[in-house]
């Protein structure tokens, strides 16, 4: 099976290639795709080397599957060109997520909505994925009325240049003497600003969490109030999530639901200071949840602390799990 990874030299693209190999996805030929400056670069995969090629060359090779992580404009133009050849496309950009004709998939939650006619499938935002993997089973049990979420997002969510900025700042470099991807220093700092601001005062990242929650859970009645924040961390995103339910709940029953949810690990033992942290989530595909406690201010509310590796379950792993579902259904041709 020929598999194209578009954006193969970026942080997420590199992780996609690693995870394809880790999960033994049946790749006979890897087609790494990147910008002109990376053409000809060698990508090692399963003890073989494959040369980075252009998008046009990749389409001409007629891969069975293409996994995109190269930005919305690239996905807008090129995902349909791959799909027209019969290639299944899983796209990690935000471009197709809210398209009414495209499915937005977290496999553990809604892979049942996929059909044989789906050739371009959207991968949700990293923060939405980890929040909803925990929230979805609770919604089924108790019906979610409202979510208030504050995120603490790793610099890896921005890419290599953000990691380089933080590392440069940690050497003591003076602001203004180096190329920065953020409008302010990120080391020893916190930026309440991810993506650009919209007319309503929220950022695009925050509105993604609102809109994607509605689409994935198929419920526009859920109100979502998000604040997304960039923190000087490498390894994963963390979220403080407050959920108000329509129906009351028994706390132990709620914990039992989470303990039996695929892809979720409950890490909650405050007597021994055990709770999720990015250092624990780094390199793992599970979503970790802890600090599970009733909201003492309302009748049917719960507070949760949710952590996941944003490059893995928040992006690459989720995309490959979508591809595995397509393969399982026989919709990717070998």
pTM over 0.85: yes
Cα–Cα distance for residue pair 239/149, rounded to 1 Å: 7
Joined together, the tokens standing for residue 70 give 């190269």
| Local confidence band at 285 (pLDDT 50, 70, 90 cut-offs) | very high
Q: What is the pLDDT of residue 185?
A: 98
* DSSP H helix total and E strand total for the chain: 10, 14
Residue 12 pLDDT level (bands cut at 50, 70, 90):
very high
| Residue 126 annotated as catalytic | yes
Residue 226 is predicted with a pLDDT of 98
Per the residue annotation, which of 53, 87, 139, 237 is the catalytic one? 237
The CATH 3.30.360.10 portion of the chain extends over 127-310
> Are 308 and 279 spatial neighbours (Cβ–Cβ below 8 Å)?
no
Considering only CA atoms, which of 12, 3, 5 is closest in space to residue 312? 12
Is 53 one of the catalytic residues? no
User: Burial letters for 52-73: b for 16+ Cβ neighbours within 10 Å, e otherwise?
Assistant: bbebeebbeeebbbbbbbbeee
* Contact assessment for residue 236 and residue 307, using Cβ atoms and an 8 Å cutoff: yes
| CB proximity list for 171: less than 8 A, separation 6 or greater | none
The helix-helix angle for 126-142 and 204-217 (nearest 10°) equals 40
For domain 2-124+315-328, is the CATH number 3.30.470.10?
no
- What is the structure's pLDDT at 235? 87
Catalytic option among 126, 193, 214, 218:
126
Over the stretch 34-68, which tens digit does the pLDDT of each residue have? 998 899 999 999 999 999 999 999 999 999 999 99
C-alpha 286/C-alpha 314 separation (Å) is 10
Query: Which residues, at least 6 apart from 322, have a Cβ–Cβ distance to it below 8 Å?
Result: 90, 105, 107, 111, 121, 123
| CATH number assigned to the domain with residue range 127-310, chosen from the 4 options 3.90.1150.10, 3.30.360.10, 3.40.50.720, 3.40.50.170 | 3.30.360.10
pLDDT, mean of residues 124-148:
98
Q: What confidence tens digit (pLDDT) does each residue in 287-310 have? A: 999 999 999 999 999 999 999 999
Distance, CA of 213 to CA of 317 (rounded, Å): 19
Where in the chain is CATH 3.40.50.720?
2-124+315-328
Residues 6+ apart with CB under 8 A from 191: 182, 183, 184, 229, 230
Contact 323, 65 (CB under 8 A): yes
CA distances from 69 to 8, 11, 43, 65, 95 (A): 8, 9, 16, 13, 11
Q: What are the backbone dihedrals phi and psi of residue 171, each rounded to the nearest 5 degrees, phi first?
A: -85, -5
Spatial distance between the Cα atoms of 102 and 104, rounded to a whole number of angstroms:
7
The rounded distance, in Å, linking the Cα atoms of 314 and 308 is 7
Residues near 255 by Cβ (< 8 Å), separated by ≥ 6?
266, 268, 292
In this structure, what token pair is assigned to residue 316?
């690459």
Q: What is the mean pLDDT of residues 211-228?
A: 98
pLDDT for position 182: 98
């Amino acid at each position: 099976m020929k598999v194209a990874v578009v954006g193969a030299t970026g942080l997420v693209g590199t992780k996609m290639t690693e995870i394809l190999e880790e999960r033994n996805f049946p790749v006979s030929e890897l087609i790494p795709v990147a910008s002109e400056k990376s053409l000809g670069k060698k990508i090692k995969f399963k003890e073989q080397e494959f040369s980075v090629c252009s998008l046009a060359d990749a389409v001409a090779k007629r891969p069975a599957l293409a996994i995109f992580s190269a930005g919305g404009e690239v996905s807008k133009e090129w995902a349909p060109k791959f799909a027209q050849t019969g290639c299944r496309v899983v796209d990690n950009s935000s471009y197709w997520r809210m398209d009414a004709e495209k499915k937005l998939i977290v496999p553990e939650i809604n892979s049942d909505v996929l059909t044989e006619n789906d050739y371009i499938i959207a991968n949700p935002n990293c923060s939405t994925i980890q929040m909803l993997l925990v929230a979805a089973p609770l919604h089924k049990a108790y019906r979610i009325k409202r979510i208030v979420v504050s995120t603490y997002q790793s610099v890896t969510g921005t890419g290599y240049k953000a990691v380089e900025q933080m590392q440069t700042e940690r050497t003591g470099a003076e602001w203004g003497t180096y190329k920065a991807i953020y409008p302010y220093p990120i080391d020893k700092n916190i930026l309440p600003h991810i993506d650009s601001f919209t007319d309503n005062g929220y950022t695009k990242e925050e509105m993604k969490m609102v809109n994607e929650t509605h689409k994935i859970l198929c419920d526009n009645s859920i109100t979502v109030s998000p604040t997304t924040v960039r923190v000087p961390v490498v390894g994963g995103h963390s979220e403080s999530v407050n959920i108000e339910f329509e129906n009351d709940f028994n706390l132990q029953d709620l914990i039992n639901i989470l303990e039996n949810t695929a892809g979720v690990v409950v890490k909650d033992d405050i007597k021994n200071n055990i709770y999720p942290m990015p250092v624990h989530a780094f390199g793992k595909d599970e979503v970790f949840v802890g600090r599970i406690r009733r909201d003492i201010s309302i009748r049917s509310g719960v507070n949760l602390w949710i952590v996941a590796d944003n490059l893995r379950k928040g992006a690459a792993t989720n995309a490959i799990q979508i591809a595995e579902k397509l393969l399982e259904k026989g919709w990717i041709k070998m």
